[in-house]
Amino acid sequence: MSILYRSEAERGRIWAGIFAAEAPDLPFHIWPDTGNPEAIEYLIAWQPPADLLRSLTNLKVLFSIGAGVDQIGLDQVPETVSVVRMVEPGIASGMVEFATMAVLALHRNVLDYQRAQRSAEWRQLEVVPAAQRRVGIMGLGVLGQAVLQALAPFGFALRGWSRTPKQLPGIACYSGSDGLEAFLGGSDILVCLLPLTDATRHILDQRLFTRLPKGAALVNLGRGGHLDQAALLEVLDSGRLSAAVLDVCEPEPLPSGHPFWQHPSILLTPHIAAVTRPETSARIVLENIRRYRRGEPLRNVVDRAAGY
Ligand code: NAP
Ligand code: GLV
């Protein structure tokens, strides 16, 4: 029985060190060294190729190295293999930092001041109190809830939207397609922290943008596939939306010459909002493997029908 890690090799060496120290009975291979492929029961990967999955005939659990699993292509993973997504404190704290930075930057007009600076213009904009700024988070999962908790002390008026109904203290909660319009109508800053599924692909489209208050701003921290890029350009250029912070794009990297690179109302970052930390995630995967070997249910198993 052994483990195969197929992602960035440098981080893999940190994982290997932790497994060697804490689970010396579990051989740990870093791809392309697979050892005997038939001995591999656990695969840790971001995007495992189909031929690799086919060659691991005794695979039991596929651990996504990320919180999202859309990049895996769930339909190519045999039904006998459990897919587990990454829930670990490193991702949550990175996302909290980045989302807070993005919301505060939009709240305090950082993109407007950057444009003004470039044209040497000294112009003070009205300071809107946080209590009068409504921040809406799409996705009330591990990351959406962590971000809401971090934003609460600033005094923003917070709301969230999820697939199934939720009750969260201090948060106006909406759910499902019935709740979407009311949720959007009170979101001055909209943050997308949804998983990418058949139900959420291109959810950030023209129709959604026109339901936001005029001058609203967007933060996309989910996946590039959530966004209809042409629709965003149109609403930014017409002034319907004031600004966007985009950490994810489709494709990644964004091709040179793409209009997002130079757009004055877009702050673009290269999918770095939250990065899985080997030191914390390796121990969480190891604990889950131990649960599995004891016959206990795995934590954070993906619901294949829902796609997340
Ligand atoms: P999670 O715990 O699975 O939460 C997902 C949330 O989205 C849940 O609240 C779920 O609703 C909601 N949702 C799913 N489908 C929906 C739909 N059709 N309509 C309305 N709500 C829906 O996931 P997470 O750990 O918070 O991660 C969220 C996503 O963040 C990941 O999938 C990934 O794409 C992205 N991410 C990005 C980065 C980055 O660096 N940019 C890093 C990590 C993760 P229910 O609560 O009702 O199930
Ligand atoms: C990163 O995007 C992740 O899904 O963890």
DSSP character for 169?
Answer: T
Catalytic residue list: 223, 271
Percent of the chain with pLDDT over 90: 100
Q: Confidence band (pLDDT; 50, 70, 90) for 265?
A: very high
Task: Quick: pLDDT tens for 150-182.
Answer: 999 999 999 999 999 999 999 999 999 999 999
Q: Confidence band (pLDDT; 50, 70, 90) for 148?
A: very high
Q: How high is the pLDDT of residue 193?
A: 99
Q: How high is the pLDDT of residue 128?
A: 98
Question: How far is it, in rounded angstroms, from Cα 209 to Cα 262?
Answer: 21
Question: Which residue of 91, 95, 143, 200 sits with most ligand 2 atoms within 8 Å of its CB, as the best mutation to test the pocket?
Answer: 91
Q: Please answer whether residues 268 and 246 qualify as being in contact, where contact means their C-beta atoms are separated by less than 8 angstroms.
A: yes
CATH of domain 90-268: 3.40.50.720
Q: Please answer whether residues 197 and 75 qualify as being in contact, where contact means their C-beta atoms are separated by less than 8 angstroms.
A: no
pTM, to two decimals: 0.98
Which ligand has its closest atom nearest to the C-alpha of 307? 1
66 lines ligand 2 (CB under 6 A): yes
Task: Quick: pLDDT tens for 62-73.
Answer: 999 999 999 999
Provide the CATH topology of domain 2-88+276-293: Rossmann fold (3.40.50)
Q: Which of 293, 306, 294, 104 is nearest to 196 (CA)?
A: 306
Query: Please, what is the average pLDDT of the chain?
Result: 97
Give residue 115 CA to ligand 2 midpoint distance, Å.
31
Q: Where in the chain is the domain with CATH 3.40.50.720?
A: 2-88+276-293, 90-268
Q: Confidence band (pLDDT; 50, 70, 90) for 99?
A: very high
Q: How high is the pLDDT of residue 203?
A: 98
